[in-house]
Amino acid sequence: MTEVTRQVFGQMPQEQGGGVVEKFTLKSDSLKVEILSLGCIIAALEMKGRGGEFTDVVLGFDTLEGYTRKHPFFGAVVGRVANRIAKGRFSLDGKEYQLFLNNGPNSLHGGAKGFDKVLWSPQVLPNGVCFFRLSPDGEEGYPGDLKVWVTYTLSGSELAINYRAQASRATPVSLTNHAYFNLAGQGSRDIYDHEITIEADSYLPVDDTKIPTGEVASVQGTGFDLRKPVELGKHLQKFHLDGFDHNFCLQQVQARRFVARARHPPTGRAMEVHTTQPGIQFYTGNNLDGSLKGKGAATYPKHSAFCLETQNWPDAVNKPHFPSTLLRPGEEYNHTTWLLFSAA
């Protein structure tokens, strides 16, 4: 049985549109998830360790104020297009579109005020919560009205996130959740003792602004071969990597499949990722620098969390040989990601 409760979490500042932010708590015997109506943010996720004690394993803030200031998309749903679009530009049906540049020369995670920074309309379900918003034509430079539904449901130790969207005009769409995990517990110093597995035979090399070069490269014989579990800290050292911020190319089937696992041997905590999406961005918190005060006054230094963001491939709107990110009128964008938590 899943218990769902709601409470007021805070009030948005007037200069950000005002409005009440609610927090929804989804609770089962093995998992407790707190989700905000601001940005559909996963603000806390408490899971059991080997000894049965609950620990919060996602980075974030204790109060709304933290989330209304600049932060690296902690726990949020990002869109209209997750990840980077080169120079914030794309052509569609003969027309050029220019987006806001918020990541060096590129547009990242929907622009200046993406889906992470807006209030969504919630509807409580027996085992979860569904958030809705209408992204109006021209928002952040994107064409067409886009209706979006993000549904979180909790069943035992499995959290499912379903994304649906419908467009009035052709538009690129790629949605993901940007939760930062540390299975040792949020506020732990690093993730070097985590074991990571990603079920991908290829990945996308990137240029110095993190835009894919267009090559789809084999992981074989490289530091990107994560098909067998690797201990992250030792692996980064062995391959002289500063961290990961790369898209791994998944099997191109629109069915649920296992794509990644993170495991923390000292506590026995593990998280499996299953998805219908064509890609997964593995990010090791390279840009965290300890400057943000998080939950319980924790600081979040570099490599103190990881993200496994299921999504379409970055810059796909400009790369015809990548899986298409275009949604046209009469079609429906519909993807689900399942996170399974365990302790052994």
Contacts for 235 with CB less than 8 Å, ≥ 6 apart: 196, 223, 241
Please tell me the distance from the alpha carbon of residue 165 to that of residue 157, in angstroms, as a whole number. Answer: 27
Residue 179, annotated ligand binder? yes
Catalytic residue among 140, 264, 309, 335: 309
Active site annotation includes 309: yes
Residue 303, annotated ligand binder? no
User: DSSP of 62-110, one letter per residue?
Assistant: SSHHHHHS--S-TT-EE-SB-SEEGGGEEEETTEEEE----BTTBEETT
Please tell me the distance from the alpha carbon of residue 163 to that of residue 153, in angstroms, as a whole number. Answer: 12
Residue 163, annotated ligand binder? no
Residue 84, annotated ligand binder? yes
Please tell me the distance from the alpha carbon of residue 293 to that of residue 306, in angstroms, as a whole number. Answer: 18
Catalytic residue among 109, 178, 235, 274: 178
Residue 181: DSSP 8-state = B
Please tell me the distance from the alpha carbon of residue 271 to that of residue 180, in angstroms, as a whole number. Answer: 12
Active site annotation includes 178: yes
Cβ pair 263, 228 in contact under 8 A: no
217: β partners: 203
Please tell me the distance from the alpha carbon of residue 148 to that of residue 63, in angstroms, as a whole number. Answer: 26
121: β partners: 132
Residue 245, annotated ligand binder? yes
Six-digit token pair at 55?
């620990």
Amino acid at 289: D
Contacts for 79 with CB less than 8 Å, ≥ 6 apart: 109, 110, 114, 115, 135, 148, 173, 174, 175, 176
Residue 83, annotated ligand binder? yes
Six-digit token pair at 31?
């998992």
Amino acid at 223: G
Six-digit token pair at 302?
């570099």
Query: Which residues define the annotated binding site?
Result: 83-84, 178-180, 245
Binding-site annotation, residues for beta-D-galactose = 83-84, 178-180, 245
Catalytic residues: 178, 309
